[in-house]
Amino acid sequence: MSLSCCGAIDKIKGETDFTFALAGNPNVGKSTLFNHLTGMGVMTANYPGKTVELNIAVTNFEGHRIGIIDLPGTYAIGGVSEDQWVARQAVIDGDPDVVIVMVDATNLVRNLYIVLQFLDLGFPLVLALNLIDQAEKKGLTTDTDRLAISLGVPVVPTVATRGQGLDTLMATAIEVARDRGKQPAHATRYDEDIEQLIRELGAGIKTADNGFPHNLSSRALSILLLEKDDEFINAAGETAEGRSLVAQAGRLSAQIEAMHGKPSPVSLARERYGLAGVITQEVQTLSRREVPLSEKLWRSTTAPFSGLVILGGVLTGLFAFLFFVGSWLSNQFTYIWSLTASPVIDSVIRFVAGTGVVAHILNWGFDAGILATLGIGIPYVLTFYFLLALLEDTGYLNSVAFLTDRIMHKFGLHGRAIILMIAGAGCSVPAIIGTRVLTTERERVVASTLITLVPCSARTAVIIGALAFVGGWQPAAAIFAIVLLLIVAVGMALNKLLPNQPGGLVMEMFPFRLPSLLSMSKKTWFRFKHFITAAMPIVFVGSIVLGAVYETGYIWKLSAPMAPLVEGWLGLPAVAGLTLLFAVLRKELALQLLVTLAVVKYGPEGRNLLHFMTANQLFVYALVTTIYIPCVATIAILARELSWKKAVSISAFTVGLAILVGGIATRLLAVF
């Protein structure tokens, strides 16, 4: 269930004793903690106009009913990107009783930045010092008592993957929530010259008629104005008093720039980083130790030569596993479905609608449609998500992002975008949803375009079933190679057309770790559930439409106007062009529909594809099917994540590219 953020948070607050918000960077184990606490009963919420969602759930602990708000994983809450804006706004609007910030004990100085930002906002805080086991392996020891004194908040050591320290964390958060309002403000302190200007601006901030959220302290508002935060400057501009405060903040910001030689937002950021460094030096010690195997493996996977060799081996193993295990599961599932579900569905439809055209159309949706969704989803998508969770939880995808960062910069993207493209090999829909982690809309547009070109499991099935089965693995490998070259060419072209180089990649890097089977299973199910709920309705409706057009005979009337393009340019029989047209509803049906229509057109001998298509035609058919827009579900997701205009533009581009490349391939094959 998806609701607006404000409505969902208000609903949870009304039904629970306490509300906790979970914050932290994407790689520190926050999602593991959320899954450990809440299980499966999760609803999503988003702000209007924002694609980044919150996960909200309710849990019970020691007789208390607690609402958990899982904020987007970020390294900061400065509002410069959509995920940062949503994380900060959810805390300001939701006003949770406690904010639990998870930080990485192996990289404390980097992680304390967001902690200091939350302290500046003035919310009750509990620090979860996670990955302490990994820190110990690196020889890092943290004095948690001293860290708690330095920050003025409770600190609880945890290992989220094993559930270590989580009960203590929850109990501590409840204690802080009970004492809310009785505790002194946990304000950080910067250089005295900046502190003086913060106090001066704070003295002029009142709670009445200034346009600001009233659950923020005058100190918090002063810092936000001195940081020139657009959100709060615009809010202040609604009232005369607020505009006066903005003007005062502008004058004080100029003083900070004159004193420090940098704009006030940069000066305040440097103050936080400096304070984070000082605190880390005071509370952490590093002892000599042997380099563990996990760190040696990490170094091997991030080194240019060995890293690329290992990456090639991992990808080969990944897709080999998908092909053999996925194919076996697909065959087993289809066999079981044909023995159990299909006869029941057919009997019910016959009872309700008889045996006429209407019954046949309903069978397309209720039998073939659901079978197609689950027959691809369970063997390929579910399997892929489990393997993806394995790569994530071991930390290997982090290494891949680091290794490929320089390559991805050629496309104007960060290394983390390669993770989304790998996910697109399973299904384009969740991969495009995953582009929310990218900072700018430009990056999301480029990444989404490239993801649509990555062969998903359904298109891979067409390549294998229509080409490799007849001509061997070489033609299939050639198609994958062509698509890879197209992805590189398109990525570099988009980087030229949409210039705006990304900054450096900032992410946590840590050695490999043993994954938790429970955590992997929950993550896999959560993603697969989203895939099914997004894909099932569209595939079902598309199947009904396809069945209606087929069963009523209108499908054959479409071949004449398509003849110049399909037969003239692509060199394919008209029957193949019809499958290209309708397979956009369900790409995995491209091959099945080709055989079905061929049998209707040519009789039983049409089951042998080589009876009516040459090997060259099959190559072009598989190539065009692979390149053009994957399916209507992908178009819908593109529209939701970007806009309908961009979704139509990307779809039209991939269709045009497929037609262009297919025609060129037809002519080259005729020559060679």
Q: Is it the case that residue 422 has pLDDT exceeding 70? A: yes
Domain limits, CATH 3.40.50.300, in the chain: 2-178
Report the pLDDT value the prediction gives residue 607, as an integer from 0 to 100: 55
pLDDT confidence bin for 322, thresholds 50/70/90: low
Instruction: Find, among 401, 506, 524, 439, the residue nearest to 31 by Cα.
Output: 524
DSSP 390: H
- Per DSSP bridges, beta strands 53-61 and 98-104 are unpaired
Reading across the β-sheet that carries 125-130, which strands appear in turn? 2-4, 42-46, 53-61, 64-70, 18-24, 98-104, 125-130, 155-157
Average pLDDT over residues 538-547: 72
Q: How many CA atoms lie within 13 A of 205 on its CB side?
A: 26
Mean pLDDT, the chain, integer: 80
pLDDT confidence bin for 353, thresholds 50/70/90: confident
Determine which of 93-97, 511-515, 561-565, 596-600 has the lowest per-residue pLDDT on average.
Answer: 596-600
The residue type at 47: Y
C-alpha to C-alpha distance for 87 and 79, rounded to whole angstroms:
8
3 state SS of 612 = coil
Phi/psi at 85 (5° precision): -60, -45
| Residue pLDDT, tens place only, 433-472 | 778 767 778 888 999 999 999 988 678 767 766 665 566 6
DSSP 164: B
Average pLDDT over residues 77-102: 85
The 10 Å Cβ neighbour count of residue 408 is 22
Q: Report the b/e string of 172-182 with b at 16+ CB within 10 A.
A: bbbebbeeeee
Contacts of 44 (CB under 8 A, 6+ apart): 1, 2, 3, 53, 54, 55, 56
| Residue pLDDT, tens place only, 128-148 | 999 888 888 788 899 999 999
**H or E element: which one contains 553?**
none
Q: Do 245 and 236 meet the contact criterion of CB atoms below 8 Å apart?
A: yes
As a CATH number, domain 2-178 is 3.40.50.300
| Residue pLDDT, tens place only, 220-235 | 888 888 988 888 888 7
Q: What angle do CA 84, 89, 93 make, to 5 degrees?
A: 160
3 state SS of 77 = coil
C-alpha to C-alpha distance for 554 and 118, rounded to whole angstroms:
62
Q: Is it the case that residue 524 has pLDDT exceeding 50? A: yes
C-alpha to C-alpha distance for 374 and 364, rounded to whole angstroms:
14
The residue type at 360: H
**Interaxial angle between packed helices 473-497 and 644-671, expressed in degrees from 0 to 180 and rounded to the nearest 10:** 130
C-alpha to C-alpha distance for 447 and 411, rounded to whole angstroms:
9
C-alpha to C-alpha distance for 309 and 96, rounded to whole angstroms:
47
Percent of the chain beyond pLDDT 90? 18
- Specify the higher pLDDT residue, 402 or 597: 402
Percent of the chain beyond pLDDT 70? 82
pLDDT confidence bin for 508, thresholds 50/70/90: low
Q: Is it the case that residue 258 has pLDDT exceeding 70? A: yes
Phi/psi at 141 (5° precision): -120, 130
Q: Is 466 exposed, middle or buried (0-12, 13-18, 19+ CB in 10 A)?
A: buried
pLDDT confidence bin for 32, thresholds 50/70/90: confident
pLDDT confidence bin for 523, thresholds 50/70/90: confident
